Amino acid sequence: MFKKVLIANRGEIACRIMQSAQPLGIHCIAIYSTVDKAAKHVALADSAYCVGGASSQASYLQQDKIIEIALRHQAKAIHPGYGFLSENADFAKKCIEAGIVFIGPKPSTIKAMGSKTHAKQLLEKAQVAQIPGYYGANQDPHHLLKEAKKIGFPVLIKASSGGGGRGMRVIHEEGDFLSALSSAKREAKSSFDNDTVLLEKYFIDPRHVEIQIAADTHGNVLHLFERDCSMQRRQQKIIEEAPAPALSTRVREQLSSMACNTAREVKYLGVGTVEFLVDKAEKVYFMEMNTRLQVEHAVTEMITGIDLVHWQLLIAANQPLPLRQEQIPIQGHAIEARIYAEDPNNAFMPSIGKIVYLKEPPQSRTLRLDSSIRENDTISSYYDPMLAKLIVHGQTREQAIEQLWIALNEYHIAGIDTNIAFLKKVLQSPDFKTPNLSTQYIENHLTQWTEEKNLSFKLLALAALYHHFHDDDNDEETCQCDPWKNSSGWRLLGNSRYTLSFLEGEKTISIGITSNHKEITLDCAKLSEKITLSCDEISIIKNQITLKTENIHWQAVIILQHHHCFVLSDTDNITLTVVDTAFHHTTSTLSKGQLTAPMPGVIVELLVSPNTRVKQDEPLLVLEAMKMEHTLLAPYEGIVTSLHCKRGDHVQKDSELLKLQRVGESQ
């Protein structure tokens, strides 16, 4: 086995590789960018070295610099993780030429399967149905448009060298094709250092099912069953499970056979995945082969008891696989939920900032958390917004869903937006439980899950009560709601009353608080809600507040940070700003007519100029942040009066990008 391995990646996967390698006595070398110096993967490594600047292009994609670090510190092997350089044949070749083992397949295999044309030809020999598409080398935009017309809309543009939804666009209308192509190519170049794309027919409501395979240098080729990865948003998986539910034995065996035949055809070495679409009639279509470890490999590990990273190391060290096909069992059911720093209520816009509070569910034999974050870490705009993966195991699918639901209720992150509350909505949806799965399921239900809702009186009441009784100088773990310990205006004779105002987004809402030595009443005129509680019905332990009466049982974790109040409950998470009503001015008067940056990023495309008239929801500009492009739309019909940025500019959060005068409004 290797004495030293350099991990050419960051975040959760770098930590995951160390968890398998270090117990084997392998010295793990981490690399980091200038903004990742204090990252978790750096802290866990045996040694770590800076590889370059903040952007992935300046750091984690610097092939020669990574190899130079490995050579300088006597690393005999490089593990690429997933993403970045994991499917880059040139990088694998450079490693071998430098005398370093690339923990993955041969460069020729990566190149062959990276070429979708070659992959298609191989699978035709195995009589696997192909998705209609264009896989050629001609990347001229107008040629690609011509091919898209032949395929018929809707079509899918897909980056040839990557995955994870990067460089992917679904095009429904011919007129949208060229702009989407340009965006997909930029994103692919930024993420994988290769802007080559392919085109495929976009199917309606298929399932995404994949087979995990492993092959060693001794001629052994095994499959480790299938995973269903149909739960996706923006062509990126968020929930995966193994084995695939409601799949016939015939299709399961067909998929496993095709995947192993594919591995043999390309003389595959290492751990890999063959991906398929399965339509409503259970007809199978080959999609692609990923020549690397998958993000969702953990669900396979949970149902088989096999450490796939350990297997990668064994194969790379020319050792045989330790099991035969008949020795690999399916034990129960596993589900994985990806935790992202993003706002599902705002088109899944990535979220950045400092994690001011983190409470993770406790790990056990049936619950695993692969995480890259710690409390007080800062999430930057430079990399993928995935924070962690929460994986559970149950004897049945129903048990796994219930366990994941409980774990998500115990998972609290404050300071940034996350998709935790959204994941719970997906888990509780009837079609998911049935299961009635498809790659478009989330898109079809998105409106009902993210439509604008009124603020919950329950959450506002919990926030108001916690704020009312909170004492920064009180170190006691339990708050007894003692009137002598708060400075809210309580008086010995009679009731005290004051108003506490909160701001969520641009909405201001007030809670009236009336209290005496026996009870406290909260009322909200705007919501026509009111509740009266005795002090013994209120419990505050550390950051958790509970209200328990004969009729209600409300509970939440509350984090106060300066003027911000983070409310984390089992139903939803909200961020409130405590408003000083004497000095507060609404943001609408301050930002009238301004379009500001939702996060730090780079302006990659300006789609308007001064005096351009635009319709509501018409694209104005494209901002690249967290390895993905985000198109900012006009909030209303108007005229662009001025631009305050140009292509290539690095902009900060809330910086003004342009001014837009509403039609019919005077300046």
Active site residues: 292
For the record, the structure tokens of 660 come out as 């837009």
Give the C-alpha separation, 84 to 60, whole Å: 7
Q: Are strands 619-625 and 628-633 parallel, antiparallel or unpaired?
A: antiparallel
Helix H or strand E encompassing 476: none
Give the C-alpha separation, 646 to 274, whole Å: 42
Whether the bond into 483 is cis, omega within 30 of 0: no
Q: Are 312 and 101 contacting, i.e. CB atoms less than 8 angstroms apart?
A: no
SS3 content of the chain, % helix, strand, coil (to 5): 30, 35, 40
Sequence-ordered list of residues with C-beta below 8 angstroms from that of 153, at least 6 positions apart, any chain:
171, 172, 173, 174, 202
Q: How far is CA 67 from CA 73, 84, 235, 293, in A?
A: 10, 14, 32, 20
Give the C-alpha separation, 544 to 180, whole Å: 46
Within 10 Å of residue 393's Cβ, how many Cβ atoms?
24
Residue whose entry in the numeric block shows the structure tokens 């399916």 = 330
Give the C-alpha separation, 138 to 144, whole Å: 8
Looking at the DSSP bridge assignments, the partners of residue 164 are none
For the record, the structure tokens of 139 come out as 């990347």
Residue whose entry in the numeric block shows the structure tokens 């007030």 = 510
Angle at 449 between CA 448 and CA 455, to 5 degrees: 100
Give the C-alpha separation, 355 to 359, whole Å: 11
Q: Are 263 and 215 contacting, i.e. CB atoms less than 8 angstroms apart?
A: yes
The string of DSSP codes covering 594-618 is EEE-SSSEEEEEE---TT-EE-TT-
Give the C-alpha separation, 367 to 360, whole Å: 11
Give the C-alpha separation, 276 to 377, whole Å: 37
For the record, the structure tokens of 392 come out as 């559970």
Q: Are 119 and 307 contacting, i.e. CB atoms less than 8 angstroms apart?
A: no
Q: In this structure, what DSSP letter does residue 283 have?
A: -
